[in-house]
Structure 1
Amino acid sequence: MKKKISKGTIIRTAVLGLAIVNNALAIAGKSPLPVDNQTVTEVISFVFTTAAAFAAWWKNNSFSQNAIAADEVLHGEKGE
């Protein structure tokens, strides 16, 4: 039986992906955010990337079936 990836894992992964795209656009000189002031854009980008990186690093993101099953054992969840 396949286990489901948690919503939190999907959200943290998506936020991290958005942060990486945002930084790549900023490096390329594109304005990823609709703000004219370059400094504000860089600060927002830095805060966004830092928050996403720490959230992704702090949480246990289980993608493989074995890792998801181990989480269920650890947290006492029952499979079907």
Structure 2
Amino acid sequence: MDKASVTRFTLLTIAVINAVLNMIGYRTIPDDMANDIVAVVSGIFAIYAAWKNNYLSKKGRKQKEVLDKHGLS
């Protein structure tokens, strides 16, 4: 497993544990704090996805040039 897979698995595990604890009545963190955390994490993932899915970096621009050169874009 690569680093990204381990990170996703860990975050998912924490989220599931938190959801189960909330279902049985044990509040691990307040609801407003949980909403704030979700908003921040979602924003980070959105920015990361936008960066990775566009040709903004030097590597991405080189990839775009290769695609254009071979008529694949």
TM-score by length of 2: 0.43
Structure showing greater Rg: 2
Q: Which has the higher contact order (CA 8 A, sep 6+)?
A: 1
TM-score by length of 1: 0.40
Which is helix-richer, 1 or 2? 2
